Chain A
């Protein structure tokens, strides 16, 4: 059982390799740089390929080609680069090709800064590019969880023939934590008879396409895609619950911020305030069940994020006006602190009494 100290960014890379990914195409951007650094060294060691593209546009389209050719393939970036990739992601989603995209989020909008943020939630979960499509979005909260989720990310991509995004923030990318290396999923690659590999040994031509000139035809494609998203919503919601059984105040947070929220829950509990936490692991499909489950005991929700309140909308969609949904967040790359969040939750708790 190998236990190593590893940066989050490196774990994205090692986790991908352990998931059978042999190809990486990317373009440098802070704060995810250690990920391409790691893969540039590691991939050649396993007979794989690291290739630095001339832009994010090129890198996502190299991913498109490699995925069409049947490979397990990945790219990574941060907000501004992910924005440039949206054209390609929309094409990949419509062409139904599997690939994994890592977004180690930095502060935005615009060039923003290189400090940690969670402000790409909308972009990741609501489409991002043009057209009606979705990506499964995974949000690990520790370096170990990055390692554990990378296998799932590739498996989901293959299972649904869809791009999958794994999101972290700058802290998760930079932090070093001990990791069990044996926890990666067993790699069992499924056959890809649709891949464009040349017609040799095949009766028919394979065509990878996202062009449907007839509206009736394109609507059929869209309906089929929507059917696929309903399947994801049915089978792929993942989350963690923490001390919610009798919680009157339930916090909701994802990624690294959930660890801050967990500390807040513990401090509230020590002070006799029944707090709990729901941590979505899949941001799309959004896990509604844990929120519905606690409605009976919970009087109020507090969503904590490092953005201006993006996931708060999904929580509101689930909870509606049945319970108040409060928000606390910092933007611009400002990290929320345990004390700040606790102060806000106490304020809300006082209002309840």
Chain B
């Protein structure tokens, strides 16, 4: 049988701590492969979030910084402004980026920081215990919306890709999902394009990745992938929301 996947140099040998069926592992791999393929791994600095991916520094085989909740884009700004020829990315969940880190997220886009944000959206606070996130769907049950998110009480989902794409400093904004082999391939393309956008110095690049949380959704891994497809994608449509001018 042919081996279609080999270990990527972009990841360390450490075993992931993620729950079975969680797609963080796939997303890590896509980012790591992109850094290797672009031959920038040894000049990359990654910024970890707070939440499930808090230990990402154990996995990405490059220099890493652990940031406070939501502040990764500000930390990335500091690194990139001091070391403009390095590749700088943040890896953030929806609680990290779209709640406490809203200001930092919006303002790196406003400034057109030449960094890449990998934004993992699974509509829930994972590590903290399945509470409502800004991205939780209306009607979705979480530990803090036990009867389902009521928009009249808890408001509506925050749509990050749609929100940042119109900003002048955002050069590349796309939303992908990792629920099927086809979508994973498209996600890889988007990640590569995001880093290329940074290498060209065009402005902020952000890839929103729709991800699963079987544990907190209370679903089996296959059910979670189905739930993502049937419930998340209609609310969070996939596609490239902004591509750099002349970059087709």
Contacts and interface: CB of A to CB of B under 8 A. Distances in A.
Nearest to B54: A211
Interface size class of B (residues with CB under 8 A): 20 to 34
A179 interface: no
26 contacts: A23-B78, A25-B77, A49-B81, A57-B71, A57-B74, A58-B104, A58-B107, A61-B74, A62-B75, A65-B76, A66-B82, A68-B79, A88-B68, A91-B67, A196-B64, A196-B65, A198-B62, A198-B63, A198-B83, A199-B42, A199-B63, A205-B64, A207-B64, A208-B64, A209-B65, A211-B55
Contact of B74 (A65, A95, A205, A211): A65
Given A62-B78, A68-B79, A211-B54, A200 B68 contact: no
A62 B77 contact: yes
Interface string A204-228: 0111111100000000000000000
Interface of B: 41-45, 47, 54-55, 57, 61-68, 71, 74-83, 86, 103-104, 106-107, 110
Interface string A235-255: 000000000000000000000
A69 interface: yes
Interface size class of A (residues with CB under 8 A): 35 or more
A200 to B, nearest CB: 4
B99 to A, nearest CB: 14
B199 to A, nearest CB: 14
Q: Which 6 A-B pairs have the closest CB atoms?
A: A65-B78, A61-B74, A66-B78, A198-B43, A65-B75, A196-B63
Contacts of B45: 68-69, 196-198
A22 to B, nearest CB: 9
Q: Which of B64, B68, B76 neighbours the largest number of chain A CB atoms within 10 Å of its CB?
A: B68
B103 A55 contact: yes
Nearest to A199: B42
A55 B104 CA distance: 9
Interface in A49-72: 49, 51, 53-55, 57-59, 61-71
A87 interface: yes
A183 to B, nearest CB: 28
Contacts of A210: 66
A207 B62 CA distance: 9
Contacts of A64: 65, 67, 71, 74-75, 78
Contacts of A325: none
Interface in A166-210: 196-200, 205-210
Given A62-B78, A65-B74, 13 more contacts: A57-B71, A58-B103, A61-B78, A63-B78, A64-B78, A65-B75, A66-B82, A73-B78, A196-B65, A198-B44, A198-B63, A208-B65, A211-B66
A69 B77 CA distance: 11
Contact of A58 (B43, B64, B71, B79): B71
Contacts of B41: 199
B82 A57 contact: no
Given A49-B81, A197-B83, A198-B45, A205 B75 contact: no
Given A23-B81, A25-B78, A62-B81, A68 B65 contact: yes
A68 B78 contact: yes
Contact of A61 (B57, B63, B68): B68
Q: Which of A67, A197, A198, A211 neighbours the largest number of chain B CB atoms within 10 Å of its CB?
A: A198
Q: Which of A57, A58, A200 neighbours the largest number of chain B CB atoms within 10 Å of its CB?
A: A58
Q: Which of A64, A69, A199 neighbours the largest number of chain B CB atoms within 10 Å of its CB?
A: A69
A61 B104 CA distance: 10
**Interface SS of B by simple majority:** helix
A210 B55 CA distance: 11
Contact of A209 (B42, B66, B71, B82): B66
B77 A65 contact: yes
A205 B41 CA distance: 11
Contacts of B43: 198-200
B68 A65 contact: no
Interface in A36-94: 49, 51, 53-55, 57-59, 61-71, 73, 87-88, 91
Given A70-B82, A198-B43, A53 B74 contact: yes
A88 B71 contact: yes
A169 to B, nearest CB: 28
A103 B186 CA distance: 49
A235 to B, nearest CB: 29
B86 A58 contact: no
B107 A54 contact: yes
B83 A61 contact: no
Contacts of B57: 207, 209
A68 B67 CA distance: 11
Contacts of B54: 211
A65 B77 CA distance: 7
Contacts of B67: 61, 64, 91
A58 B110 CA distance: 14
Nearest to B81: A49
Q: Which of A70, A200, A210 neighbours the largest number of chain B CB atoms within 10 Å of its CB?
A: A200
